[in-house]
Amino acid sequence: MKLIKVIGWDMGHRLTNHESKCQNLHGHRYRAEICLEGNIIKKDGDSKQGMVVDFGDIKEVARREIYDILDHGCMIWSKDKLLVDFFEKNKTQKHIIVPFVTTAENIAIWIFKKLDKEIKDKYKSEVSLHSIKVWEGPTSVAICTRKDINF
């Protein structure tokens, strides 16, 4: 059985090497669809009987590992000297420095890696992360599955 929990956040970024206006600092309303896979719990009397996992458990992990870190921040590629210098001088401005170009594809991989560890630690082999979809606005989406990851 597959389950999906959705979380959204607002975040700025820019694509320094891009040939269009995306090289400028701008923001999006992002949404991540977290897809887990596992078996339904059938143990009589278990508080999670009939579930794969409690949606509230997924929400808590997503809030801590995605929303709290990214919402109303600016994700910056560590090689973007202009923005790295700006945020070094303006430390009160929320920013996240990452070692990759801040495309939806790379953000999906980053989220997959973060959540995969959390889910493995919490559920062992009973539940696994199937995929992450990152929506960059209402019409553009990147989907990351385990085969897309180089651990």
What is the domain-level CATH number for residue 10? 3.30.479.10
Residue 88 lies in a domain: no
44: tokens are 């009589």
Residue 30 lies in a domain: yes
Give residue-wise pLDDT tens across range 100-130: 999 999 999 999 999 999 999 988 888 999 9
pTM for the model stands at: 0.94
Catalytic-role residue among 18, 37, 72, 88: 72
Amino acid found at 21? K
- Three-class DSSP category at 117: helix
Indicate if 22 belongs to the active site. Answer: yes
Range of the domain at 128: 2-71+102-148
Catalytic-role residue among 22, 33, 35, 118: 22
- Strand pairing category for 95-98 and 141-145: unpaired
Residue 77 lies in a domain: no
d(CA 83, CA 100): 14
Residue 84 lies in a domain: no
Residue 78 lies in a domain: no
Residue 128 lies in a domain: yes
Indicate if 18 belongs to the active site. Answer: no
Indicate if 28 belongs to the active site. Answer: no
Cβ atoms of residues 67 and 7 within 8 Å: yes
Residue 37 lies in a domain: yes
- Three-class DSSP category at 4: strand
